[in-house]
Structure 1
């Protein structure tokens, strides 16, 4: 009897010990088991915030846990990016960034590495800018705009959403490639810039589709081109800058998701898989199209390569145009 009890005891011990690694694996694979902080490095209401909140709702459904948007604006988006980059790499702090993230790499001395200090998840979507003019500017396309700027150097000015912002950089790239003298008028945001453009205080803006296109459609502004390499579904009647007067010119506004360096492989893979699934859905594609965005849903490697190209591109523009914060 004692012999049988000893065998039963040993058998039970082996069962318990054998099941321990399985339990550990089960516990390890339970991500996420609490709310996830989704940082937006800008104030509420802007483009990045709007897209992040749309994505957060779908991600909450996919993960079965709340994905909570946390607005951490300031310093052109660098404050929120620093918080995300220095967070614990466990998948419970992620961030949505836009094209300005790549510009900042060449503008600021950053307390984090914008390329090697992060783990990319996915490029979410892209959108061109609209080249919009006050109706009084006597041109009908990019070719004529360049000709006018060359005929009257310094007579055309352009609005931006702030020095060093992506709209400023987009127009500076245009200025450099077209070799024209146009004057920068920086504003504190899209709203004031568009208000003065509509009022005739400035001549031109390279503005986001979401904010600018309604004024073009209403006739308050004159749209002459979009800045991507292909025409936008939101305004197919507008040619690209590339096809209408400045070959090789391309600028897109983009949004992407990343987390701190060192994310567990399973966490990184899960974020990519869920984002790709969401962005492939017809419902999400339609929703983003209303914001002027084309859904992408890239792999982490594709997003990293895109980011590397963008950082290099804007660093060169910043250097060639001698752009400095406060200038």
Structure 2
């Protein structure tokens, strides 16, 4: 799909996002336009790198009277969900570090737009925060939302990512993502991609894979990620972009095959699985992240303080262990790198949506 790839080059150029994977003090480092985001590795992989110098210096050198009272973290997910558990883990650790209560306020209605609207309209004093996921960059292309992500929020930090693996039916003969892509191009009607949650990165990557290949590859929507996996086990769906928790047991049994992972770096959950970029497949570099945002115009010193404390939280071994056990990768981030990712990924997802493929039912 040359028009999409042309747009991809355009947004990468505008955002100035040459990506360089390196290793620094044993950590996986992604350099984004001169700024650094660190994907924290578990203790078995490496020691952790420190927070970016600019954020740390600003938080140390400026005298700010923050926090002045308790904080409220608005969460657009229901209580008991994985996302809610991550938000409560962050809130618990922030309470200790900030010495004030941090309330988690679940507002799952209206596909998360209610939560976003509350924070967008809140006071810019850092006491009201939004815990959201990458889906919020996709949603404006699916339905009207009462805010503009880039105008109405101040990015603080991404804290975790859900690695999305390209997984195929274990009965198929392909063993690499290149072999899979070649087979699909050669005989598109014989294969299909499935997805569970509309408007998720997994959905958009399936859209992109279908539009990037030959016409005639069915795109199948199932009733959730687990339903996609069951359809694959039954042989009715050939491939998906799925989370580690949904497929790990079936990959171990050989019923499914894990060919690659989306994102800029390999996942510590399955370090032997190459990234799709390593395999020569472009356009799969965005993360399915969870992150914290504040209202627009929140003072930089407050944002730096929050980012520093979140970095301290995600560097705790116990926190990393809990995130990895939930199938998430800890992310250590700066506000600048988060803002750059939002700008670039917003364009990427909207381009894919405009080139959307027709759906089929399983």
Give TM-score scaled by structure 2 length: 0.74
| Structure 1 counterpart of 2:355 | 320
**d(CA) in 1 for partners of 2:128 and 2:223?**
29
Runs of 4+ deviating beyond 4 Å: none
TM-score scaled by structure 1?
Answer: 0.81
Q: Does 1:260 align with 2:313?
A: no
Partner of 2:65: 29
Once residues 97 and 272 of structure 2 are traced to their aligned partners in structure 1, the CA distance between those partners, rounded to angstroms, is: 37
Residue-by-residue CA offset, 1:14-33 (whole Å, 9 max, x unaligned)? xxxxxxxxxxxx9x826242
For residues 182-234 of structure 1, give each alpha carbon's deviation from its aligned partner in whole angstroms, at most 9, with x where no partner exists.
21221332232223333333222101223333332243322121122332221
1:276 paired residue number: 311
Quote the Cα distance in structure 2 between the aligned partners of 1:97 and 1:305. Answer: 17
- Higher fraction of helix: 1
Gap change, CA 1:189 and 1:71, over 3 Å in 2: farther
Moved more, 183-192 or 92-101: 183-192
The answer on whether the counterparts of 2:158 and 2:290 sit within 8 Å (CA) in structure 1 is yes
> How big is the alpha-carbon RMSD for the aligned residues of Structure 1 and Structure 2?
2.6
Instruction: Give 5+ residue unaligned stretches, structure 2.
Output: 1-62
Q: Which residue of 2 aligns with 1:84?
A: 119
Q: What's the offset of the Cα at 1:128? A: 2.6
Corresponding residue number in structure 2 for 1:20: none
Q: Secondary structure at the match of 1:53?
A: helix
**Which runs of 5 or more structure 1 residues have no equivalent in the other structure?**
1-25
Which of 176, 191, 196 lines up with 1:161 in the alignment?
196
Q: Which has the larger radius of gyration?
A: 1
Count of aligned residue pairs for this structure pair: 297
Q: Distance in 2 between matches of 1:195 and 1:320?
A: 28
Structure 1 residues 65-104: aligned runs within 5 Å = 65-104=100-139
Q: Of 286, 293, 309, which residue of structure 1 is paired with 2:344?
A: 309
In the alignment, is the contact (CA less than 8 A) between 2:119 and 2:130 conserved in 1?
A: yes
Distance verdict in 2 for CA 1:231–1:298, change over 3 Å:
closer
